[in-house]
Structure 1
Amino acid sequence: MVRDRVVEAVSYLVLLAAWQLAAIAYSSPWLVGPLEIARVFADKVFLAKLVDAYLLTAMRALTGFALGLVAGLGLGVLAGMVALRLGGVLEKLSAIIASVPSVAWIPLLIALLGTDEFRLPVAASFLCSFPPILYQVFSALRSVDPEEVAVAQTLGAEGMYLWRTIILPKVLEKLFPAVKVESVMTWKTVFAAEMVAVPSGLGYLAMLYADLLDVAHVAAIVFVLTATVAVFVSLASRFEKRVLAKRGLGERSWQSISMYAAREY
């Protein structure tokens, strides 16, 4: 485990060094190296602007994503429990809507909501997360083993207890990968909305420096967005492992099985 992390860290350092050497060798204002980008963060004026923009983007992305997650999971489970025919219709609609690139909704949202600095990016974030999560819930429900459910019912599990102990854990196991992907996509969608329609946030700040042909500042903003997404996915993966491990699912449970089998052998 430690060795893998060391190898990963060394790989990143080699890539950064190669990038810096390429920037020095090419000597162009259009190719800035890691050191030039790092110097940008020493500018207190830029740093203050960056923090303000970041907080706005984070609030918009997380609000829309949270609404999409709750609505997608709640509606999918509810349809699966009480309205199977409605679930079939919703599954098809969610698949169609999810196939549309999220940024394609931005012009329509501008026409409907105007360029409101909160409603527009939150609505874009919601449309980015809600349909794919809803579709994934239906897909996860289809993957539940009927025989496992039948055995649980034979042993007396029924109603909410059956859903809470058997069905929902299986749904969560299938849902987590989609949640991680959509959490990334919401940040990208909000960033794009800010670039084209909202006069604030990271996307807007990036466009201001792009108009000035300031590559270093634009690269610094993109780096912050990339680092945020990486941290977000890492935290979501850790949360996924903990939740699934408590229910005997996921990667950690399979590792335990392998260790037990090896010990028995």
Structure 2
Amino acid sequence: MIARGMSLQVYPSEIVSIIGPNGSGKSTLLKALARLLPVSGGEIYLQGRNIWSLHEKDVARRMAVMPQSMDFAGDVTVRELTALGRMPHRGFFSEFGTRDAQAVDRALELTSMTGFQHRSIMALSGGERQRARLALALAQEPEILLLDEPTTYLDIRHQLDLMLLIRRLHDELGLTVVMVLHDLNHAARFSSRVVAVKDGRIMADGSVREVFQEDLIRSLYGVENTILELEEGGQSHLVCLPHDVTGAFAAMPDAENTGGLRQ
């Protein structure tokens, strides 16, 4: 998907979820932010500097990416995988030092993977493997964490476990989190801000309550839906219940015309 005319600013310590139908440009946007995909026009700035003017290691020290999928060598252990996250902090010929070992230990502890550290990646369950990949990202000691559909292929328990872990890491470490999500209810519950993308454009950008409107979700996905508010443990959050498919995708107005949504 070609992304056109996108304008987005992410603020420190936000949790931003990017939602939208398949092929809408969500992953394209995330890859551009991660410096994994060159842009043919426009510019991307990381903490005030053009991201393509920075050395790759400088970017990796500030920002870690957890892609949708990752190939593993069959015999690599969880600790060996996590240790790869220290590469941005080391010279080409430098040895793995005490500071690196401490960062790896901390990443394994944060993701509850210490007990799995000597186990082969291929021997892990899907949820354990995702936490190992997250430990790899955390070993970089980033300020920004980018996640591309982190709950893909996980059952509902492991999805929830991972999302709760991401929120805890945000709260404890002050991480800025930007993630592409398919599950609207995860986006509603765990985000401070939601960006809706369709046809390579940002169609809406605002708080959960601003974006989770029935007419907006209908136009974005082509489904009839009901937005409910649930209260749990003294806290309330929105839930989206899709219940029918509309006849056709309706064109949604630009964000600047949707009444209070940012773009």
Same topology, TM > 0.5:
no
TM-score, normalised by the number of residues in structure 2: 0.22
TM-score, normalised by the number of residues in structure 1: 0.22
Over alpha carbons, which structure has the higher Rg? 1
- Structure in which a larger fraction of residues adopt helix: 1
